[in-house]
Amino acid sequence: MAIRQLRYVNDPILRKKSREVTKIDDRIKTLLNDMVETMYENEGVGLAAPQVGILRKVVVIDVGEGILKLINPEIIEKEGESLDIEGCLSVPNRAGKVLRPERVKVKYLDIDGNEKTIEGTGLLARALCHEIDHLNGILFIDKVVEEVED
């Protein structure tokens, strides 16, 4: 495992759409493990592959309930609204209030290629939406309704 170099707000790769993962091989598994290590090293709760310069639909999340490794995640249900403060490892020293769904259901592949779904509320729902946005070239600052002091 290795700590990868983070990409920051003005890096054009963060604005590109990621490609679907068609084969879960050792490279994808290594990427996921490196992303987990990079996320923990930088004290984040989530990380998407574009944030380490890889345009693949891969995210890792840990909101305190254990590590989630999601391949080709896609939101299939949304419910409610929640306005809360977000930050991002790729946008240092900035935070803002972002409106997100209170509950989401996401389908994805696990590292063995099995299709799974996960439901999240609160912080997990927010992290899922935030990281999936990264796969579509969207940053939280695009959705901020009010900047706050970091």
Q: Are 128 and 61 in contact (CB under 8 A)?
A: yes
DSSP per residue over 74-136, as a string? EEEEEES-EEEEEEETTEEEEEEEEEE-SEEEEEEE-TTS-EEEEEEEHHHHHHHHHHHHHHT
The residue annotated as part of the active site, out of 79, 81, 119, 131, is: 131
- Looking only at the bridges linking them, the beta strands covering 103-109 and 91-100 are unpaired
The tokens of 141 are what? 């600052």
131 labelled catalytic: yes
| Of residues 34, 27, 66, the one with CA closest to residue 51 | 34
Kindly list the catalytic residues. 131
